[in-house]
Structure 1
C-alpha cells in the first residue's frame, strides 16, 4: 500500500502549514502529493509552489476539473508540470457536477462520459506530439468552426516537446460507467468514498473497462487511489462523530438534490433511507440534524479510524480489496509520520 498526501482545495483562506506537511511526507516515504480544486483555488499553482522542493514524490491533481480549462490548455499545464518535476507528474481529471459546471464555468454538463473520452484523447494527442492536433468531436472540435468562428483556425503541435507522451492520467469516477471508462482510457482510478465491502462490484466495473478493445492497462499495472480519512486514535467514537458533518455536507449539499453523485455512492452501499433524510434536513437548513442522522457505520465504512494496530488491519483489508494507494489528509507533520509508521 502506498500513501499519497491529499492537500485538497482551499477554504476561505489558504492553509498555512503545507510546506511542513509536504516536507514530512517526502521524508516519511509517502509516494505522492495531490492538490484539488472546486470553485476557489486552482489545482496546479499550489502544487507547483508547495512541491517545488520535493525530489522524489510524485505530484498530482485530484482532481482538475474538465470544464475549468480546454483540453489543450490542460495539456499545456500537464507538460509544463512534467518538465518542472522531472517526470513525476500525474494528471488527475474529473467532470465535477452540473451545479459547478453550469453554474460556475458556464458550460453544459450533458454527456459527461463522451466529454471525458474526447478530452482525454486530445490531451494524449498533445502529449504525443506526432502531428498537429485536430478533433472532429462535437464537444471540443479542433479547429473550432462553430458560431463566431472566423474560419482561420490552424491545427498546431505544442512548441515545447513534452517530456513523456505516456504521462499518467487518472480519472475521478464514482458511477459504474465512469469507473469502467477510467479502466479503459486511464492509468488509474481516483476513488472517493470507497468501501472495501463493495470491492466485488467495483471490480466488475473495472473489468468491463479492461476488457474493452484498445484498453490501455490491465489490473496488474492500473492504480486505484482511494481518498480515505485515516486517523490513529483511542477515541474512535469521537473521531467518527466529528466526521459526520463533512459526510452530511457531501451527501446533502455537494450537488443538486435530484443529481448528487456523492449521495448516489452511499445509496449503492445500502444507505438509501439515510441519504433521503440527510438531503431533506440539509436542504432545509438543518445541517446539525443532518449530521446527527448519519449512523456511525456509514462513516466508518469509507474511512479508517482506530488504534495503530486497528489501522494496520484495516489498511490490509483495503489492499486486499484492490486499493493500491490511500490519499490521506493530515493536520500536522506528526500525523504524517504516525501514518507512515502505521501503514508503510
Structure 2
C-alpha cells in the first residue's frame, strides 16, 4: 500500500504548515503529494511552489476541474510541472458538479462522460507531440470554427517538447459509467468514499472499462487511489462521533438537492433512508440533527479508525480490495510520521 498526502484546496487563507508536511511526507516514504481546487486556490501553483523543495515524491492534482481550463491549457500546465519536477507529475482530472461548473465557470455541465473522453484525448495528443492537434469536437473543437470565429485558427503542437508523452492521467469518478470510462481511458482512478465492502461492485465497473477495445490499461498496471481518513486512536467511538458532522455536510450540503453525487454514493452503499433524512435536516439548517442521523457504519465504511493493530488490519483489507494508494490528510508533521509508522511500517 502506498500513501499519498492530500493537501486539498485552501480555505480563507493559505495553510501555514504545508512545507513541513511535505518534507515529512517525503522523508517518511509517502509516494505522492496532491493538491486540489474548488473555487478558490488552484491545484497547479501549490505543487510547483511547494514541490520545488522535493526530490522524490510524485506531485499530483486531485483534482483539476475540467471546466476550469481548455484541454490544451491543462496539457500545458501538466507538461510544465512534469519538466520542473523531473517527471513526477500526475494529472488528476474531474468533472466537478453542475453548481460549480455552471455557477462558477459559466460552462454547461451536460454530457460529462463525453466531455471527459474528448478532453483526455486532446491532452494525450498534445503530450504525444506527433502532429498538430486537431479535434472534431463537439465539446472542444480544434481549430474553433463556430460562431464568432475568424476562420484563421491553425492546428498547432506544443513548442515545448513534453518530458513524458505518457504523464499519468487519473480520473476522479463516482458513478458506474464514469468509473468504467476511467478504466478504459485513464491510468488510475481517484476514488472518493471508497468502501472495501463494495469492491465486487467497483471491480465489475472497472472490468467493463478494461474489456473495451483500445483500453489503455489492465488491472495489473492500473492505480486505485482512494481518499481515506486514517485515524490512529484508542478511542474509536470518539473519533467516529467527531467525523459525523463532516459526513453529514457532504451528504446533505454538497451539491444540489436534485443532484448530489456524494449522496448517490452513500445511497448505493445502502444508506438511502439516512441520506434522505440527512439531506432534509441539513437543508433546514438543522446540522447537528443531521449529524446525529449518521450511523457509525456510514463513517467507518470509508475511513480507517482504530489502534495500530486495527489500522494495519484494515489497511490490508483495503489493499486486498484493490486499492493501491490511500490519500490521507495530515494536521502536522507528527501526524505524517504516525501514519507512516502505522501504514508503511
Map of 2:100 onto structure 1: 100
Alignment of 1:77-156 (within 5 A): 77-156=77-156
Q: How many Å apart are 1:14 and its aligned residue?
A: 1.2
Secondary structure of 1:190's aligned partner: strand
Runs of 4+ in 1 over 2 A off after TM superposition: none
Alignment partner of 1:48 is 2:51: no
Partner Cα separation in structure 2 for residue 266 and residue 190 of structure 1: 17
Q: How many Å apart are 1:77 and its aligned residue?
A: 0.2
Cα deviation, 1:241-297, whole Å, max 9, x if unaligned, reads 111111111111111111110000000000000000111111111111111111111
Partner Cα separation in structure 2 for residue 239 and residue 50 of structure 1: 31
Number of corresponding residues: 344
Alignment of 1:59-70 (within 5 A): 59-70=59-70
Map of 1:180 onto structure 2: 180
Q: How many Å apart are 1:147 and its aligned residue?
A: 1.4
TM-score, normalisation: structure 2: 0.99
Map of 2:168 onto structure 1: 168
Alignment of 1:184-263 (within 5 A): 184-263=184-263
Map of 2:315 onto structure 1: 315
Alignment of 1:279-298 (within 5 A): 279-298=279-298
Map of 2:330 onto structure 1: 330
Cα deviation, 1:183-206, whole Å, max 9, x if unaligned, reads 000000000000000000000000
TM-score, normalisation: structure 1: 0.99
Secondary structure of 1:131's aligned partner: coil
Cα deviation, 1:31-84, whole Å, max 9, x if unaligned, reads 000000011100000111111111000000000000010000000000000000
Query: Which runs of 5 or more residues in structure 2 are unaligned?
Result: none
Partner Cα separation in structure 2 for residue 81 and residue 287 of structure 1: 41
* More deviation, 199-208/49-58: 49-58
Partner Cα separation in structure 2 for residue 196 and residue 171 of structure 1: 19
Query: Which runs of 5 or more residues in structure 1 are unaligned?
Result: none
Map of 2:17 onto structure 1: 17
Partner Cα separation in structure 2 for residue 85 and residue 47 of structure 1: 9
Partner Cα separation in structure 2 for residue 149 and residue 104 of structure 1: 25
Secondary structure of 1:13's aligned partner: coil
